[in-house]
Amino acid sequence: MPVSKTDAVSSTEVLNALSRGIERARAKFKQGIYAIPDFLLAIDVYREGLAFIHSGIETPSASGSPQIVIGVVKGDVHDMGKNIVAAVLEASGYQVLDVGRNVENAVFLDALKETKAPVLALSTMMSTTLENMRTLIAEARRLRPDVSILVGAGLVRCLCARLHGRGTRRTLRR
């Protein structure tokens, strides 16, 4: 049923309803009730709703510089995981700058420099890209010693500790 902007529901009420909806979807995903496809459907609906109301109402996440720079490292073209993570982060209220796939180290570093984002998120599905990822992480830390770095992909769960000797986090795909 088409809903027009002149119906007796304010844009703020619609936005609040969308936010409650995506929050419930996020909770169900975290509990394992929703699988990835379910959560992606919820994100699509949330985005459609935001695009519809598009009334200039600013949410806390819509203002300010990007908080997370995310991309797939050079030499890798697998970006579905990165796209999912970026969408989930945006639906969770974060401002995300997605720099794409097969991204040169310089592009990541320039984005970090320009946005001053506190988080750099790197994605790869391959083992042959890890050496360059290690280089990029070192360069990012030299540039921004305070930056937090997220690394994710299929193989990296077992290899993360090798990369920088720290603990791993669960990846989005279980």
- Asked if residues 159 and 127 have their Cβ atoms less than 8 Å apart, the reply is yes
Token pair for residue 3?
């809903």
3 binds another protein (CB under 8 A): no
Q: What DSSP state is assigned to residue 135?
A: H
Q: Which stretch binds another protein (CB under 8 A): 6-14, 21-29, 106-114, 123-131?
A: 123-131
Amino acid found at 84: I
Q: Give the integer Cα–Cα distance in Å for 46 and 102.
A: 29
- Distance (Å, rounded) from C-alpha 130 to C-alpha 125? 9
Asked if 143 touches another protein (CB under 8 A), the answer is no
Structure token digits, residue 24: 């419930």
- Stretch 92-121 residues interacting with another protein (CB under 8 A): 102
Task: Candidates 54-62, 82-90, 115-123, 140-148: pick the segment binding another protein (CB under 8 A).
Answer: 82-90
> What residues between 19 and 58 interact with another protein by CB under 8 A?
36-37, 40-41, 43-44
Q: Which residues bind another protein (CB under 8 A)?
A: 36-37, 40-41, 43-44, 74-78, 80, 83-84, 87, 102, 126-129
